[in-house]
Structure 1
């Protein structure tokens, strides 16, 4: 049996997060000492802790993480989250899935000083490059 600090060190989760996951039922300790209220985790729970850490690092919502851990469907939860993020990105900016338009070139020549300027504009990214030549 591993104490909460040891388990936190192995999984990369904080002690505070482990207490929270215990409260919501996402990762319940294998045993809780009646006298000291220490949470003790089994070695078999290390994998679940690491999976929770990976899913939370990928910003998968906690209810989906809890469901994935209880059902053993971590890969499915990650794929569902990826699809949801891509759909949200598409709703926020429908142009994101289309390829960037070609650069717009504008060349101005000054007849007296033989200068030219090239302006490149990318409307989607709103970046401009100006090149002067003499």
Structure 2
């Protein structure tokens, strides 16, 4: 007679199915305490219940089997925490992408407003403090946050003369990688570290305002682009964004306002 828990009893206690327990045994993830050499029956010990429950929770979070095995194999609590934290961070990023996609789809399902507010604006040339780089599209948000923090540290509010902005090359959207520049209009632009003094050229823009956070800003881009096709002559050039009100100004997302500027050819009045 064998001591211990049968695979069925162990399955009931851990909420892991018999089929799953067999798969974990074959993968070397959770081996039975003993296996009857004659019948092949698997028996588990009570001490295996906590690690089995850990496995159950990790798998509920979609942690890959290989990572689960690494987590269980390490005796270093810090290393174990790092492995779990890394996966949780990836889950949070995936949730952010899902939320953004849901917001965009909801906006697309609404009837498009016939009265999209677009302003044709001639923006004069400006000298600004800026940080630029070339990068992949999926790295822009993190890079932007770091660059703006650097500009904010170099230029306190008393030195700023307008809201910050960004300039994004067409290739960034078309090819998934391209040049990005973020900048602040300030009284005395000066180079320091990554910060450069940049001359922004005069440009004619078709401008609309995206309200709220950037979830769904792609929909605003699309509607502005459609307006430009119908009402103006688009020209090849970077897209401009001006962060009139943003997270550096208020935590209330509904108050955020981002101007999107599409380069156009404008006839003289």
Q: What corresponds to 2:211 in structure 1?
A: 102
Alpha carbons of structure 1 residues 123 and 43: separation in structure 2 relative to 1, 3 Å: closer
Q: What corresponds to 2:48 in structure 1?
A: 45
- Count of residue pairs brought into register by the alignment: 107
Stretches of structure 2 lacking an aligned partner (at least 5 in a row): 98-135, 145-209, 220-269
Shift of 1:96: 7.9
In the aligned structure 2, how far is the partner of 1:81 from the partner of 1:71?
16
2:108 aligned with 1:80: no
Stretches of structure 1 lacking an aligned partner (at least 5 in a row): 104-121, 127-134
TM superposition score normalised by structure 1 = 0.65
Runs of 4+ in 1 over 4 A off after TM superposition: 86-98
Q: What corresponds to 1:7 in structure 2?
A: 10
In the aligned structure 2, how far is the partner of 1:30 from the partner of 1:48?
13
Contact 2:71 2:84 in 1 (8 A): no
Alpha carbons of structure 1 residues 86 and 7: separation in structure 2 relative to 1, 3 Å: same
**Which structure 2 residues correspond to residues 1-134 of structure 1 after superposition, within 5 A?**
1-72=4-75, 75-86=81-92, 101-102=210-211, 123-124=216-217
SS in 2 for 1:44: helix
Worse-superposed segment, 83-92 or 31-40: 83-92
TM superposition score normalised by structure 2 = 0.34
SS in 1 for 2:30: coil
C-alpha RMSD of matched pairs (Å): 3.1
- Which structure shows the bigger proportion of residues in helix conformation? 1
